[in-house]
């Protein structure tokens, strides 16, 4: 197994490993083909207790990416139980050691999931939880204020909300900012609005699909 790029303590690494294992175990029981449409009350009810965490290899890539672009301000659209958020916080905290203030703005619609996420961050310690600002509610409302100099946006959200989230954050992105969207092969038909927007001539975006499980797209804002 290749070494992890994540700079952290053995305790936090063990925490992350355990959370990923719980998420994978839980996801193995979900029949994705039988689920109702995303962002409906029925769908939200089924997903209320589900991790649906970003895979560990994807999280480690994103951590590595954030370190390479010296990201200090990142936004996570779709926090769930806060697993990937820990990686974001660790990365920006390391970058801020060279100057600047680390900031992770995390969004989560469900208050019950937000409570669990906060508990996970507390387990990771002050160096993680103090970096994170959690905004609970509909991201179409919570991402309308206090954004500036955004280096990175993670779209780990149900597909109908991906483009609205990008449009809200885009005016506050610096040139060279990066967007990651998850499951872009598995749910490619549901991402068409996002793809058409970023692929349009003159959009200011460049996009590539990476061959992670389910697909993951990296979009650069020029």
Contact predicate 217/186, CB 8 Å = no
Residue 49 near residue 115, CB atoms below 8 Å? no
Q: Which positions ≥6 away from 174 have C-beta within 8 Å?
A: 149, 150, 151, 221
> Which two three-digit tokens encode residue 169?
């954050």
Which region holds residue 28: left if phi is over 0, alpha if psi is between -120 and 50, else beta?
A: alpha
Distance CA 131, CA 169 (A): 19
Residue 186 phi, psi (nearest 5):
-60, -40
**Torsions phi, psi of 126, nearest 5?**
-60, -35
- What CATH architecture is 10-221? 3-Layer(aba) Sandwich (3.40)
Q: What is the pLDDT of residues 26-78, one digit of tens each?
A: 777 777 677 778 778 787 777 677 667 899 999 999 999 999 999 999 999 99
Who contacts 194 (Cβ-Cβ below 8 Å, separation ≥6)? 155, 159, 162, 163, 166, 181
What contacts 139, CB < 8 A, 6 or more positions away?
77, 107, 109, 157, 161, 164, 165, 168
pLDDT on residue 32: 67
Segments making up each domain of the chain, as ranges: 10-221
**Residue-level pLDDT at 61:** 97
Predicted pLDDT of residue 53: 83
Residues of the chain with pLDDT under 50: none
- pLDDT the model gives residue 75: 98
């Amino acid at each position: 197994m290749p070494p992890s790029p994540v700079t952290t303590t053995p305790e936090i690494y063990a925490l992350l490993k355990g959370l990923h294992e719980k998420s994978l175990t839980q996801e193995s029981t979900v029949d994705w083909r039988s689920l109702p449409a995303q962002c409906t009350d029925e769908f939200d009810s089924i997903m209320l207790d589900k991790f649906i965490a970003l895979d560990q290899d994807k999280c480690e890539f994103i951590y590595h990416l954030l370190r390479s672009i010296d990201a200090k301000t990142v936004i996570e659209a779709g926090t769930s139980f806060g697993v990937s958020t820990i990686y974001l916080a660790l990365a920006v905290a390391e970058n801020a050691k060279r100057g600047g203030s680390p900031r992770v703005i995390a969004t989560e619609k469900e208050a019950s999931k937000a409570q669990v996420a906060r508990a996970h961050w507390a387990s990771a310690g002050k160096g993680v939880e103090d970096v994170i600002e959690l905004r609970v509610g509909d991201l179409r409302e919570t991402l309308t204020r206090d954004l500036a100099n955004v280096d990175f946006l993670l779209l780990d959200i149900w597909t109908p909300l991906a483009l609205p989230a990008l449009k809200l954050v885009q005016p506050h992105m610096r040139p060279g900012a990066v967007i990651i969207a998850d499951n872009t092969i598995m749910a490619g038909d549901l991402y068409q609005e996002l793809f058409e927007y970023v692929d349009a001539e003159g959009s200011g975006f460049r996009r590539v699909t990476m061959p992670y499980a389910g697909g993951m797209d990296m979009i650069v804002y020029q």
